[in-house]
Each structure stands twice: as structure tokens, then as C-alpha cells.
Amino acid sequence: MDSQRFIENLHGEAAFQGFAIEEILFQGSSQYQSINIVQTSHFGRVLILDGIVQTTQMDEFMYHEMLVHVPMLSNVTPCDVLIIGGGDGGALREVLKHDINRVDMIEIDRLVVEKCIEYLPTLNNSGIVFEDPRANLIIEDAFTYLNREHQRYDVIVCDSTDPISAGEILFSREFYALCERSLKPHGTMSFQDGVVFFQPSEARDTLCQLHDLGLLAKAYQIAVPSYYGGSMLLTYAARRNSEFTPSLDDLRHRLDALGDELRHYNPAHHLASFCLPNWIENVTGECSAKS
């Protein structure tokens, strides 16, 4: 990255994206990763970790609303919530729109949190989300935390980076087993699983491992302009069929009770996002068909 443009090579030299930089707001490194926050003309402010776009000011709501409200509104009693990752605060912002008891947020990199409060205040309400009495920010490796603690949650949201560097372990069988252990009997979960056109194994592996753990699981698709390559897949999982297949009326009722206007999510889109085109169903394979 230079002072005038940014090129992302997540998918190798054969496919990449880039955009012009108006200003570099922050450039540095923690013990875990390089951190850059830049100003652009079209995407607004952009968070880049290890050279990969994580979120942008202009389209983050598309990702965060679908990652959070699908498992939250599918759950009858989403009282105790766990967020894994999400240092920018966007997922926490959306969780706090619900009438919950508490939300534990485990983020490995304190510097990401601090710099996102400073330079990406629209994602975290200028840091106010971290001060909410229901929110408990834990700066620690999530794998270590889940191995040690035995808390159980109604909803688990995994807002991880790509499976490289510090985020690689969050796509392992051992990690999914820890999430399953931490889930209450009526619990629901969501995971981010990359852009399926370039990263077909991410959702397929997640689905297979969740099914092997005895969970109902299926991929759903979203489109986020700043994630290069077309449809992105998220994975939803639940223990019971009642949480796995909520009705449109139930979702509408729960959304009305939320009393907060959302920019992207709506109940009809919630259900429609699970209707995958044939090629994605084929990519996710037999694991997806089992649900």
C-alpha cells in the first residue's frame, strides 16, 4: 500500500481489487497483525488488517446486520450472547439493539479496538457500545478463553478475519467443538465464511464440521460491495428445528419488538438468503443438503 492507492491480493495475483486512497489515517502494527485505516472517496473509511479489507464505513451495515440479526431473531430468548472477534464494534452495536442480559466480546487485539474507536466511530457509536453495562469486552485469544471458561450462551456470533495468521484457528474443528460446547440447548450461531467463488472450502468445511458435532447448519448468502468476488457466505447453526426454521410471522413479530429500524435486514430477506443458487449448493456439498 502506498499513499495513493491500495491493492488487495487476498485471492492471489490472478485476482485482486484496489481503490484510491485520499488519506492514510493510521498505519501501524500490533503483535498480531498490521493495521491500516484509510480514507477513500467511495467506501469512506476502510479498515485493513494484514493487507486485507475487513470493513468499510459505507457498506459495513450489510454485513453486520445479516451476521447478527439472523441468529438473534431466530432465537426466542437471546439473553446471553458471545461475539468472537469484531474489534471494530459493528457486531456489538447490532447485538445491543436487542433486549439482552449480557454480551461477552472476545477480541484478541486491543489496538484494533482502540483505533476503530478513534477512526471508525460510526461502527461503534464513538466507543459508546463498549461502555454499555451489558457489554463485557475481553482482550484475549478466543480459543484460549473458550478452552478455559465454561459459560453457555443463547447466541454466538463469530466475526472473524480470514483463516490466515491469528484468525486461522477460528476455522478449526477444535474451535467449532468449543463453540458447540458453549451453546445452550436452544442456542443459535453464525459464522463468516468468505467469498464462495474464491474461497469455496470455507463454508463447506464449516458446514461439515458443525454437522459432525450434531448441529443443524446451512449457509446463507449476502453481498457486500467491498468484499471482492461476488456472493459472501455466512453459516447459521442451531440445535433444534424450531430455531433453525423460524416462520416469517415469528421473525416479523420479533423484529417489531426490537423497535429499531434496520438499514439492510428484513424478515423476508432473512428467509430468502438461505435460497442458494445451484452452483453454491454444489460447492457447499452434501453437508448443506443434510439440513
The catalytic residue positions are 159
C-beta separation of 270 from 188 below 8 A: no
* Residue 146 and residue 178 in contact, taking contact as beta carbons nearer than 8 Å: yes
* 3 state SS of 57: coil
What b/e readout covers 232-243, taking b as 16+ CB neighbours within 10 angstroms? bbbbbbbbeeeb
Kindly report the number of other CB atoms within 10 A of residue 77's CB atom. Answer: 13
Concatenated DSSP letters of 30-47: -SS-EEEEEE-SSS-EEE
**Angle made by CA atoms 47, 162, 192, in degrees to the nearest 5:** 95
CA angle 82, 83, 85 (to 5 degrees): 145
